[in-house]
Amino acid sequence: MSNRALIDDLVRVCGPGGVRHRLADLMVFEADGSVDGAVKTTLPQAVVLPTSTEQVAGVVKIARKHGVPVVARGAGTGLSGGAVAINSGVIISLTRMNHVLEVNLLERTALVEPGVVNLDLSTHVKHQHLFFAPDPSSQKASTIGGNIAENAGGPHCLKYGVTTNHILGVEVVLPSGDIAWFDSNQAGYGGLDLTAAIVGSEGMFGIVTKALVKLTPIPQSISVILAAFASMDDAAMAVTEIIASGTMPASLEIMDQLSIEAVEAAYHAGYPTDAAAVLLVEVDGHPLEVAEISADVEALCRRIGTVQYRQSYDPVEQAALWMGRKMSLAAMGRLAPNYYLQDAVVPRSKLVQTLDEVDRLGRASGLPVANVFHAGDGNLHPLILFDRREKGAVERVLELNHDLVVACVELGGTLSGEHGIGSEKRDHMPLIYTESDLRAMAGLKRSFDPDDFFNPGKVLPAGLMCGELKDLHMQRMAQKHGIVAF
């Protein structure tokens, strides 16, 4: 059928204001937050903006009728190419489904649509002394639906857990166009936990149209600590020892000198620019608990050796310190026109060794690397700084990124802590998983979506959905590192 027939059918479901098909409109949805050139994309044939579950289901059925794939999309802040079309088709943008439908104070839950912005949910329930704990740095823009798709994390997930720990049930439109409710919130729940399967599935199994989320009480007391160190190794060692001591802060974040330089110039957050690294620690809970844990953190940091130590209970000062951390990516524009952000994870005990290797690889490549990361759970975020206008710059960045991923894997780490696999890390999957592992994942995908209709070409290496592995580069890479021989 022609594209015109597809557009006409979509308009009948979503109305003329809910369908985008002009070239200029489609180009807006061609990319996400990933680096241009790192992820191959194609223009979608159409973008729809539904306002109800029924419209989403109707769009899915129309796409099936026309034989085109479907990609669900939130705010487009994702960094792994998970919400872009690589086989054309229809993008379903869920940003107009942005209502908090119900708040249950007794159960401490909220029923929300997928387009609700992460921070807006916490703001909505703040006067009820509750908040939504997962807090990615993009929380001012990213949506709950996107957080569910990527199993997003954030600084406070050290104590409170990632998105999957806060999703109790989901309404999902399946690849058939059917609507299902998966609920793991029932007392004595039996059967398969399909909610857990949906969270982190990157839109490959179903499209979330409602979510029942857990809300968390705002702590009675909050302390934010800034500990500055003369070396990155000392800052990393402080993190390792804090966790090893049995102390559990709400967050443990590290920024290196390059990041401090950018943040201070942009936001004047109060970080010491002469420090090699700063450790940002938040402790929350009962006032006595906060005082005790803060004292333990101070003793450990001072024993290792800090060049500056500051503790604040002032909400205004705390907000400034956190703004510096959460806006650090935006500040990188002061150092270079472009950056590539990676999010591999390593064991906390290997932080010092890993950061030394990141430094070595960055120097060898000739590309500056800034480090801003969730140190408490070993979730690195090396930012490779570059200028894409320079000939061969993107290729050099991708080569360094590959070397960084391999280094993290060899140190016992994994590919992603919160950004997802998408199409960006898809061909790195054999570094972690065996052929049997990957075929099992493909089997789960087929159980939901036997025709590879939802978000095709993501997460799983090329050929798996067809029962074979076709990507020769992937095979050679896996063989080179001795992970699995295909």
Beta bridge partners of 36: 39
CA–CA distance, 184 with 230 (Å, rounded to integer): 47
Dig out the tokens for 398 from the structure: 């991708």
User: Would residue 429 count as lying in a domain?
Assistant: no
Q: By three-state DSSP, how is residue 251 classified?
A: strand
CA–CA distance, 263 with 327 (Å, rounded to integer): 8
Give mean pLDDT, residues 44-73: 98
**Do 224 and 331 reside in the same domain of the chain?**
yes
Dig out the tokens for 370 from the structure: 């800034």
CA–CA distance, 457 with 356 (Å, rounded to integer): 34
> In this model, does residue 481 exceed pLDDT 80?
no
Give mean pLDDT, residues 111-115: 98
**Do 105 and 195 reside in the same domain of the chain?**
yes
Residues 6+ apart with CB under 8 A from 471: 427, 461, 462, 463
Last residue of a domain, one of 73, 93, 113: 93
User: Would residue 26 count as lying in a domain?
Assistant: yes
- CATH at 331: 3.30.70.2190
User: Would residue 13 count as lying in a domain?
Assistant: yes
Nearest CA to 223 out of 246, 255, 260, 249 is that of 249
What is the signed CA dihedral for 71, 76, 77, 79, rounded to 10 degrees? 40
**Do 420 and 456 reside in the same domain of the chain?**
no
Give mean pLDDT, residues 69-98: 96
pLDDT in tens, 336-356: 999 999 999 999 999 999 999
**Do 242 and 294 reside in the same domain of the chain?**
yes
Answer left, alpha or beta for residue 482, where phi above 0 means left and psi between -120 and 50 means alpha. Answer: left
**Do 419 and 445 reside in the same domain of the chain?**
no
**Do 104 and 88 reside in the same domain of the chain?**
no
Count of domains forming the chain: 5
Q: Taking a C-beta distance cutoff of 8 angstroms, is the pair 244, 195 a contact?
A: no
User: Would residue 307 count as lying in a domain?
Assistant: yes
pLDDT cut 90: percent of the chain above it:
88
CA–CA distance, 16 with 35 (Å, rounded to integer): 32
pTM here? Answer: 0.93
CA–CA distance, 164 with 420 (Å, rounded to integer): 13
pLDDT in tens, 239-268: 999 999 998 999 999 999 999 999 999 999
Q: By three-state DSSP, how is residue 205 classified?
A: coil
- pLDDT tier at 1, thresholds 50, 70, 90: very low
CA–CA distance, 358 with 341 (Å, rounded to integer): 13
Give mean pLDDT, residues 151-158: 95
Q: 485 to each of 76, 350, 456, 473, how far by Cα in Å?
A: 36, 27, 25, 13
CA–CA distance, 113 with 208 (Å, rounded to integer): 8
User: Would residue 29 count as lying in a domain?
Assistant: yes
CA–CA distance, 321 with 449 (Å, rounded to integer): 45
User: Would residue 367 count as lying in a domain?
Assistant: yes
Q: Are strands 369-374 and 216-217 parallel, antiparallel or unpaired?
A: unpaired
Q: Taking a C-beta distance cutoff of 8 angstroms, is the pair 293, 247 a contact?
A: yes
- pLDDT tier at 112, thresholds 50, 70, 90: very high
Residues 6+ apart with CB under 8 A from 123: none
- Triad 135, 76, 346: Cα angle to 5°: 50
> Mean pLDDT across the chain, nearest whole number?
93
User: Would residue 431 count as lying in a domain?
Assistant: no
> In this model, does residue 405 exceed pLDDT 70?
yes
Dig out the tokens for 464 from the structure: 């798996």
> In this model, does residue 220 exceed pLDDT 50?
yes
**Do 447 and 463 reside in the same domain of the chain?**
yes
- pLDDT tier at 207, thresholds 50, 70, 90: very high
Last residue of a domain, one of 167, 182, 217: 217
Query: According to the model, what pLDDT value does residue 22 have?
Result: 96
Query: According to the model, what pLDDT value does residue 189 have?
Result: 65
pLDDT in tens, 441-478: 999 999 999 999 999 999 999 878 776 555 444 554 55
> In this model, does residue 482 exceed pLDDT 60?
no
**Do 122 and 192 reside in the same domain of the chain?**
yes
**Do 308 and 348 reside in the same domain of the chain?**
no
CA–CA distance, 70 with 90 (Å, rounded to integer): 5
Answer left, alpha or beta for residue 76, where phi above 0 means left and psi between -120 and 50 means alpha. Answer: left
Query: According to the model, what pLDDT value does residue 485 have?
Result: 36
Q: Taking a C-beta distance cutoff of 8 angstroms, is the pair 75, 95 a contact?
A: yes
Last residue of a domain, one of 168, 185, 217: 217
User: Would residue 270 count as lying in a domain?
Assistant: yes
**Do 209 and 236 reside in the same domain of the chain?**
no
- pLDDT tier at 192, thresholds 50, 70, 90: confident
Query: According to the model, what pLDDT value does residue 350 have?
Result: 94
Query: According to the model, what pLDDT value does residue 36 have?
Result: 72
Query: According to the model, what pLDDT value does residue 476 have?
Result: 46
- CATH at 80: 3.30.43.10
CA–CA distance, 329 with 78 (Å, rounded to integer): 14
- CATH at 359: 3.30.70.2740
Half-sphere CA count of 208, side-chain side, radius 13 A: 39
Domain that holds residue 114: 100-217
- Triad 110, 114, 119: Cα angle to 5°: 65
- CATH at 181: 3.30.465.10
Nearest CA to 162 out of 208, 214, 125 is that of 214
**Do 81 and 109 reside in the same domain of the chain?**
no
- pLDDT tier at 486, thresholds 50, 70, 90: very low
